[in-house]
Amino acid sequence: MMGAPADRIASILAAVHSCGENLLESLGLELVDLEYLAGDNRGTLRLYIDRPGGGVTLDDCVAVSRQLGALLDVEDIIPFRYVLEVSSPGLNRPLKRPKDFLAHCGRKIKIKMKEPVDGRRRFTGILRSYDEKSNSLVLENEEGSYTLNVANFAKCNLVYEFPEPGK
């Protein structure tokens, strides 16, 4: 699948997203992220799943992998060889959707910008607020407060802070 046009991959991911979200919803799970990584002989379709209010188990990942794999094969959504990987988003989960930003206000995040803001591409700080209307968030750190447009994000993740020993 090497060299597949980006629009073809985007349409496949949209179809997988639709199928995946319906299946996950029926299992009480949510789709956090979806990506396709091209390879020489086959690609990798990677789903990150979570359970609202809690984490996912290995059994959840196995169930989604089996059920979604069968569904994708029956629907013939992906017309080339691929490997399906299903996992939790991990401690440094990606933030992409409005509900991700809203749910994690008050938490520490790390952002990589597509285009520099105030001469910088990387920001780390506390997510203070998110405005859906303007699709921007307010990030605060020791240097000050920044209003950043989500459309300019190349990547945004939670930063897991380990608790101090004895607390």
Say if residue 71's pLDDT is above 70: yes
Contacts of 143 (CB under 8 A, 6+ apart): none
Q: Each residue of 5-58: pLDDT tens digit?
A: 778 788 888 989 988 888 999 999 999 889 888 877 888 999 999 988 778 999
Q: What is the pLDDT of residue 167?
A: 63
- CA 145/CA 100 separation, integer angstroms: 20
Q: Phi and psi (nearest 5°) for 124? A: -135, 135
Domains and CATH numbers, the chain: 6-87 (3.30.300.70), 98-158 (2.30.30.100)
What is the average pLDDT across 60-75? 92
The residue-averaged pLDDT of 77-98 equals 89
The residues facing 54 across adjacent strands are 51
What is the sign of the dihedral through the CA atoms of 92, 98, 103 and 109?
Answer: positive
pTM over 0.95: no
For residue 163, give the nearest of 111, 105, 91, 113 by alpha carbon: 91
Report percent pLDDT > 70 for the chain: 96
Q: What is the 3-state secondary structure (H, E, C) of the chain?
A: CCCCCHHHHHHHHHHHHHHHHHHHHHCCCEEEEEEEECCCCCEEEEEEEEECCECCCHHHHHHHHHHHHHHHHHHCCCCCCEEEEEECCCCCCECCCHHHHHHCCCCEEEEEEEEEECCEEEEEEEEEEEECCCCEEEEEECCEEEEEEHHHEEEEEECCCCCCCCC
Q: Give me the pLDDT at residue 4, please.
A: 59
